[in-house]
Amino acid sequence: MSDTSRTPPAGAKHVIGVDVGTGSARAGLFDLDGRMLASAKRDITLFHETGSIVEQSSTEIWAAVCAAVREIVATSGVDPASVAGLGFDATCSLVVLGKGGGPLPVGPSEDPNRDIIVWMDHRAVPQAERINALGHDVLRYVGGRISPEMETPKLLWLKENRPQVFDAAWQFFDLADFLTWRATGDLSRSTCTVTCKWTYLAHEKRWDASYFHQIGLGVLADEGFTRIGQSIVEPGSALGQGLTAAAAGELGLLPGTAVAAGLIDAHAGGIGTVGIGAGPQANLGYVFGTSSCTMTSTSQPAFVPGVWGPYFSAMVPGMWLNEGGQSAAGAAIDQLLSFHPAASEARELSKSAGVSLPALLADMAVQKAGRSSDAVELVAGLHVVPEFLGNRAPFADPHARAVIAGLDMERDIDSLVALYIAGLCGIGYGLRQIINTQADAGVTIENVVISGGAGQHDFVRQMLADAGGKPVIATKAEEPVLLGAAILGTVAGGLFSDMRAAMTKLSAVEKTYEPAQGAIADLHAKRYEGFRQFQTLTRDLRKF
């Protein structure tokens, strides 16, 4: 069982946030002013099969988490007794465990260590389409259409394609809930995970059994939802009795250290950023990583076609959340650049400079343009709709695909820089489209608050402000997603009375990037209209 209140240990001075992304597990040690004192990272394996199958190993992920946490405790020199709490976030990936918590194989490899269907795995597109065709009322709370990135289509795929694994499963976890169970032995799920990805109705505190029966997963309802979650608690709630002795030994911490109910990784980025200034309702959290997520908080539920939600208490407890984004964002830029003849030469230059390829190209773009906002003038006639992995929002269309228009015969690095700029514009126009769609439904925001590894360069932030049409705010947190996870730990550890108090205290503005005005703004408005026209044309051409 979970306990939402806890007295912090005497001498509590630190909290730990753990973030499990698509490619790595990271840990950060924070003081009680929100400053990160130490961090560590461990890469994790991504297994790609033919088609759209993408898998991971929960055993490897837990080992990576433990190694990263042990490293930050060792390198910082802090006394483990000073750690008041621990918070986890992770991608919304499906973990399948058998009796005793052992891993089960979820795909054709038959490797039991490959027991995770990764969020970006689209094997369940047919199941999602069949579910959507049935039109159950719960779909109102996922923007009207369920995504193959969510868990019930993936569960249905397992039941239909690997029934022996489905039947043998003891628990189906969202990855963040797996981590908190592994740390505490508590089977409680977070309202964040089950509401956003499993169709739990948090505002009514119930699962809808009729939905599961309608789509072909009635067995889960008949079992009383024992395999997907009976105890559902808000993010930040203290779980069990804290760290078990076994988990504490693996992590290098003390048994009983408070562990918080977790968050999906993008939502942790929201918690780590949107508390600044006028607070969650004014600030759209934009997490720009492998994919992108938009997090919009409201006091009342808002139904926005094609935008996931409204979800109650899925990010900020007591508030409603609408979630959009792009299935490929940082990954879309990587894919786009890989096509260009100058990509290999540019990668060698980036290695020599000790920076990533996108960072190198961002620096080159500023040098060529003189001013970040003027870079769009370098790409006249070159347009990119970067929907390589479908459109997450506002069309909820997994079949959407990318468009690159206006290529010429140039093969040099200057041409690669131009393609990079056009790709960033496309990411920004996708953000603008989500903001506008939400505004049409009555949900307005003042600022975009950015986090995520792909959005750390000044040039990227300015381009997103210009293309998106809203101020982009960067916070002082070096790692906002890790901070968001750590904020969970502060609440579970009793250092703050609630999440909002912790968010306000531990987040602060570093810099604001105002959108361009005048001719540059007009140019982006015209290019945005072209972006929308390409989307429409591509949908029409898919018929042939």
Three-state SS for 266-319 is HHHHHHCCCCCCCCCCCEEEEEECCCEEEEEEECCCCCCCCCEEEEECCCCCCC
Asked if 374 and 456 sit in the same domain, the reply is: no
Peptide bond into 305 cis (omega under 30): no
5 has a pLDDT exceeding 70: no
Number of alpha helices (DSSP H) and beta strands (DSSP E) in the chain: 18, 24
The domain boundary, picked from 242, 264, 286, lies at 264
Sign of the CA dihedral running 253, 254, 258, 262: positive
396 has a pLDDT exceeding 70: yes
Asked if 164 and 306 sit in the same domain, the reply is: no
Alpha-helical runs (H) found in 370-443:
413-440
* Among 130, 200, 115, CA closest to 162: 115
| pLDDT, tens digit, 9 for 90 and up, residues 464-508 | 999 999 999 999 998 999 999 999 999 999 999 999 999 999 999
Peptide bond into 480 cis (omega under 30): no
pTM over 0.95: no
Distance separating alpha carbons of residues 523 and 540, to the nearest angstrom: 26
Contacts of 11 (CB under 8 A, 6+ apart): 79, 81, 82
Determine phi and psi for 310, rounding to 5 degrees: -75, 140
| pLDDT, tens digit, 9 for 90 and up, residues 438-451 | 999 999 999 999 99
Sign of the CA dihedral running 477, 480, 486, 487: positive
Contacts of 526 (CB under 8 A, 6+ apart): none
Domain assignment of residue 424, given as a range: 331-435+517-541
204 has a pLDDT exceeding 70: yes
The angle at the Cα of 234, spanning 244 to 34, to the nearest 5 degrees, equals: 75
Q: Is 134 helix (H, G, I), strand (E, B) or coil?
A: helix
Q: What is the CATH number of the domain that holds 172?
A: 3.30.420.40
Asked if 17 and 149 sit in the same domain, the reply is: yes
Asked if 157 and 169 sit in the same domain, the reply is: yes
4 has a pLDDT exceeding 60: no
Q: Are 450 and 474 in contact, with CB atoms under 8 Å apart?
A: yes
Distance separating alpha carbons of residues 27 and 39, to the nearest angstrom: 6
Q: What is the CATH number of the domain that holds 524?
A: 1.20.58.2240
Asked if 102 and 181 sit in the same domain, the reply is: yes
Percent of the chain with pLDDT over 70: 99
Q: Which two tokens stand for residue 368?
A: 């060529």
| pLDDT, tens digit, 9 for 90 and up, residues 274-295 | 999 999 999 999 999 999 999 9
Asked if 451 and 379 sit in the same domain, the reply is: no
The domain boundary, picked from 247, 264, 281, lies at 264
| pLDDT, tens digit, 9 for 90 and up, residues 140-199 | 999 899 999 999 999 999 999 999 999 999 999 999 999 999 999 999 999 999 999 999
Asked if 160 and 131 sit in the same domain, the reply is: yes
Asked if 306 and 371 sit in the same domain, the reply is: no
Asked if 259 and 337 sit in the same domain, the reply is: no
| pLDDT, tens digit, 9 for 90 and up, residues 18-76 | 999 999 999 999 999 999 999 999 999 999 987 789 999 999 999 999 999 999 999 99
In this prediction, residue 516 has a pLDDT band, given cuts at 50, 70 and 90, of very high
Q: Which two tokens stand for residue 276?
A: 């600044």
In this prediction, residue 1 has a pLDDT band, given cuts at 50, 70 and 90, of very low
